[in-house]
Structure 1
């Protein structure tokens, strides 16, 4: 196994450990908080998500991606990015502090003023962590990132639970976010101590911002449109309905984004190192797509199948309307990791300009679909998300094909068999479960167990080369 492949395999393992453990803990805590706080609390925080997401994009400004891609980076580059992140973080907080009453008036929810002013402190705290996180990513030292994330999620979960059972309501979610951000930066500076050692450089800023600004604009569009549904639903529907959508969306996004983040943040620095070797780049890109689909497809299809009995079992009957939205959101986010990996390739090839143009086109399509579906209700909005995701796949994969990566048909051939295996395993398992029991919890557990068995067998015999690669990469002993 090559040194780069060994680093990638180790990175994926540690990144997976970090993401899986932290997301699992956060998911369990979210389920407890959902039962304790109810839909309205999550709806209120969901209304503010877009403003925090936009601010975060401005703070990052694509600097991290630019540092990772730059092979001759210097200490001055890191220092420049560090001070820029903090300055923009403070500016964004001040703007949100001043604008909080107007945002509360927009939603006609007076309590949002104080909620936003406290919750937005996360932006300043997070700005201090961006450079240390980028350094660890460049080094592919995901073990230390795992330590920081797991420590922070443990502390913040404890804080949130104590607050919730003390009866502070929605402020439990604010306390959770603030305690996570603060403890994360403290632990990061323990495991990866770093302080800026040089002054900012105009040349460094011009390079980093020149590349990162296009990613920032694309991220800005993405941040707005990832949360635009909460804005629209919050404006035209009640806080409770925002809560239903937010919770359904979060339950689905957790597995989709967890595995996407694991693969994306490991493969981006890896692919950046081989950006000029076309054949190696194409082979690595193909295996990245397959690994993402192999994990995400069965997870989301399985969740779609068992959503109706599972959500009320986990959250209580008050959340049943959210279960009706989950299958549609699952279908929409099934392609999420594929979108992310395709866009990753554009960054690796240095085409931040094309990245931005594609985001503008796709968001325009999303706007049209959203305008058409909002008057029809929450289900129609979720169906629109499925349509938009399919259109985005063809746009992203087409332009990657033009950059000597995999064409649309190549990607479809690569992904279709995995999609069919996942659908078959989950569909058969659910059908059998309905024959053996009428109890919801029995059907859910039986479906998960049988679907897992059928899927693993299918991968073993229908995808032998991929199965062999996984075994060699992640379970073989390292060569001396």
Structure 2
């Protein structure tokens, strides 16, 4: 199979299976949200902040380093595996021992056991990092999606059963542990690579030299992505964090479906093209354009239908999360066209640029939180989104320098999806006003409005840029064809 067909097949089938997996995750999440309280979700969100710190030290950028390398031998794999495993054990022990201090800091005694049990995830994750990297190098994203699906089904089933039996926050804790364990078992089952008892200082040094910048960026990313959870939980409390975590989870699930699948495939694909700048530039442009075609209408629709989504899926106790979902959707619009920035930096051997951009976002995020937190959770969410828009010009300048692509060329490719989304929003918002006046149910508004909006958006794209529709048809044909295609 040619490189082009391999990439398209990976995107197509990974996206298809990823969509099913995320829909299933959303259903399980919605059921748990109806059975549990915002405080339960807030407590687990607090514990996950601590877990995110441990995971930073767990990986150290080894996964990206293994994927990025043009040539990879057994010595590197063995060294990365045993290093990650030892760190995973140490992080688990550290989490168990320091959990009481973390719980005291938040004035939540119940957090001690929650953090101690979730610390086991560090050991579980350490067993899967190298296997995951190998599968991504081979573009085996169908296998990865299958792994996630099994973990989601079994972990979700056990979590829901425990919630029905009144286990509260422990339903969420058990769900995460079971899901990670099942996923790791499946990963080892489908992979034929096994580690030897071998460690090389030279390989470790080589991996570390590349990974140190990614490790630094992950520290910065923690402040960008988890600092809000930490500060909201500490200053505004577990209930406020529960509302924010639900909105963030919805945003995360949608991002996984419309953006993250393509990003995972982008790193190994871009890495193969690092010595062919023209092809890399074309691949980057096509990836961002096709992602925006899906992401723009999706996040726009979520912003408009946020009240109906909460009422239909999660229940009245989550109404306070409605404005947070709408605000985070604005971040989704921009993130969908900047998600490939990190993959380009890593593929072009510029991880330090990724780190520096993360530092800028962290600075904006902390300043924004300090200004916004006295005004409540809605203001904090606005500040979180605004910092991404402030950092966008800097990231785009770096991409333009690496790929020799002008601002005009870059932004022009988003015109069809942007205009189509604006037309769609105007139509479905007008429909919502009529439906609410006629007292139609939220279920009807959500279903009919979404379907009608999709039709309107599709027609708009066809009229604005029919050539894009033709490209999509060609990609689908390639993805479903068994014939080999020349690159």
Which bin holds the TM-score, normalised by the shorter protein? over 0.9
The structural deviation recorded for 1:133 is: 1.0
The structural deviation recorded for 1:198 is: 5.2
SS in 2 for 1:73: coil
Q: Over the residues paired in the alignment, what is the CA RMSD in angstroms?
A: 1.5
Q: With structure 2 as the length reference, what TM-score do the two structures score?
A: 0.95
Which of 424, 442, 445 in structure 2 is aligned with 1:443? 445
- Residue 33 of structure 1 contacts residue 164 of structure 1 at CA under 8 Å; is this kept in 2? yes
The structural deviation recorded for 1:258 is: 2.9
The structural deviation recorded for 1:263 is: 0.4
Q: With structure 1 as the length reference, what TM-score do the two structures score?
A: 0.96
**Matching residue of 1:302:** 301
Distance 1:394 1:223, change over 3 A: same
**Matching residue of 2:121:** 122
- 1:463, 1:257 → 2: CA distance? 26
| 1:414-429 matches, cutoff 5 A | 414-429=413-428
- 1:299, 1:84 → 2: CA distance? 40
In the alignment, structure 1 residue 266 sits paired with structure 2 residue 279:
no
After superposition, give the CA deviation of every residue in 1:267-293 in whole Å (9 maximum; x if it has no partner): 211111111111111111100101111
After superposition, give the CA deviation of every residue in 1:427-446 in whole Å (9 maximum; x if it has no partner): 31221232244222222222
The structural deviation recorded for 1:466 is: 2.5
- Residue 243 of structure 2 contacts residue 321 of structure 2 at CA under 8 Å; is this kept in 1? yes
**Matching residue of 1:460:** 462
- Residue 42 of structure 1 contacts residue 243 of structure 1 at CA under 8 Å; is this kept in 2? yes
The structural deviation recorded for 1:10 is: 0.8
- 2:68, 2:244 → 1: CA distance? 36
In the alignment, structure 1 residue 157 sits paired with structure 2 residue 159:
no
**Matching residue of 1:144:** 143
After superposition, give the CA deviation of every residue in 1:91-134 in whole Å (9 maximum; x if it has no partner): 21222212211111111100000000001101110110111111
**Matching residue of 2:94:** 95
- Residue 416 of structure 2 contacts residue 461 of structure 2 at CA under 8 Å; is this kept in 1? no
The structural deviation recorded for 1:17 is: 2.6
Distance 1:52 1:408, change over 3 A: farther
SS in 1 for 2:414: helix
The structural deviation recorded for 1:202 is: 1.3
- 1:448, 1:50 → 2: CA distance? 34
- Residue 270 of structure 2 contacts residue 343 of structure 2 at CA under 8 Å; is this kept in 1? no
Deviates most, 251-260 or 95-104: 251-260
Deviates most, 94-103 or 460-469: 460-469
After superposition, give the CA deviation of every residue in 1:380-437 in whole Å (9 maximum; x if it has no partner): 1111122112112212111111113434333222224312211221331221232244
In the alignment, structure 1 residue 315 sits paired with structure 2 residue 314:
yes
- 2:29, 2:469 → 1: CA distance? 34
- Residue 46 of structure 2 contacts residue 233 of structure 2 at CA under 8 Å; is this kept in 1? yes
* Equivalenced residues, count: 479
- 1:467, 1:63 → 2: CA distance? 39
**Matching residue of 2:198:** 199
**Matching residue of 1:326:** 325
The structural deviation recorded for 1:163 is: 0.9
**Matching residue of 1:221:** 220
SS in 2 for 1:109: coil
